[in-house]
Amino acid sequence: MTLMKAKHQRLVLLVSALVVLVAAALLAAWALRNQASYFYVPSEIVAHPPEAGRAVRLGGMVEQGSLKTAADGVTIHFVVQDGQARVPVTFRGIVPSLFVEGSGVVAEGSMQAGGMFVADNLLAKHDENYVPREMQDMTREQAEKVMRETK
């Protein structure tokens, strides 16, 4: 096996590196379209529900009086609303300390076939320096309400 000329070798290396990198970019673009998790507020998720099982995030206010704990002591049910629509949510786990009725929450999880949202994780307002970014997307009254209730 003879070695290539230096110029040819450089060209081959360049082309193969480019091919792999472009392939990586295309793969990434394709996967991002399918795997990125979109952010919804209740009225959007009710109007245009995502396919069941797809990872999405739901942000809104926890409705007063809707929080119920199941008999096992670790599963909770509550309703997230934005004034126009209501979405029932189930979560199994330890809730963040600032998660209370009437405050803002972002739930990560997926919609189920029956219109129930199953959350894997809940983000509540932490402290004045660290606001989950999704909360900035709520309307001003909602944000102010969150501030009032959790401060």
Partner 1 sequence: MIAELGLAALWMAAALAALQLLFGSLGLTARGQVLGQAVRPVAIVQGLLALLAFLCLVYVFAVTDLSVRLVALNSHSMKPLVFKIAGSWGNHEGSMLLWVTVMGMAGGFVALVERRLPERTMLATLAGQAFVSLGFYAFLLLASNPFERLSPAPVEGNGLNPLLQDLGLAFHPPTLYLGYVGLSIAFSFAIGALVTREVGPPFARAMRPWVLAAWIFLTVGIAAGSYWAYYELGWGGWWFWDPVENASLMPWLAATALLHSCSVLAARNALRAWTVMLGVVAFSMSMIGTFLVRSGILTSVHAFAVDPERGTFILALLAIYIGGALTLFGLRASTVSEGERFAPISRESALVFNNVMLSAILGIVLFGTLYPLVAESMGAKVSVGPPYFNPMSAIFAVPMLVVLAVGPLLRWRRDTFARVGKGLVIPAMLVVTGAIALVVIGGVSLLPFLGLALALGLAWASVLPLKGRNLRRTPLPIWGMVVAHFGIAVSLFGMSSESAFSVEKLVAVRIGDIVEVGPWGVKLDTVEPVAGPNWTALEARLLVRYGTNGKVTRMLPQSRSFWAPPQQTSESALLTRWNGQLYAVLGGEAPRANGTDADGRWQLRLWWKPFAPLIWLGGLLVALGGLLALVGHVASDLRRIVARGKIAYRRERQGR
Q: List residues near partner 1 by CB under 8 A.
A: 1, 3-7, 9-10, 13, 16-17, 20-21, 23-25, 27-29, 31-32, 35-39, 55, 57, 68-74, 92-98, 121, 126-130, 132-134, 137
Closest CB 114 distance from partner 1, rounded Å: 21
Cβ-proximal residues to 88 (8 Å cutoff; 6+ apart), any chain: 77, 78, 79, 115, 116, 117
Beta partners for residue 90, in sequence order: 77, 118
Of residues 133 and 148, the one with the C-beta less far from partner 1 = 133
Of residues 5 and 140, the one with the C-beta less far from partner 1 = 5
Closest CB 2 distance from partner 1, rounded Å: 9
Q: How far apart are the first and last CA of the chain?
A: 74
State the amino acid at position 87 in one-letter form: V
What CA–CA distance (Å, rounded) separates 9 from 12?
Answer: 5
Of residues 61 and 138, the one with the C-beta less far from partner 1 = 138
Whole-number Cα distances in Å, 107 to 36, 42, 57, 147: 15, 11, 6, 18
Of residues 39 and 145, the one with the C-beta less far from partner 1 = 39
- Residue 85 corresponds to which tokens in the numbers above? 């629509």
Closest CB 144 distance from partner 1, rounded Å: 17
Closest CB 122 distance from partner 1, rounded Å: 11
Of residues 72 and 141, the one with the C-beta less far from partner 1 = 72
Contact (Cβ atoms closer than 8 angstroms) between residue 148 and residue 134: no
Closest CB 113 distance from partner 1, rounded Å: 20
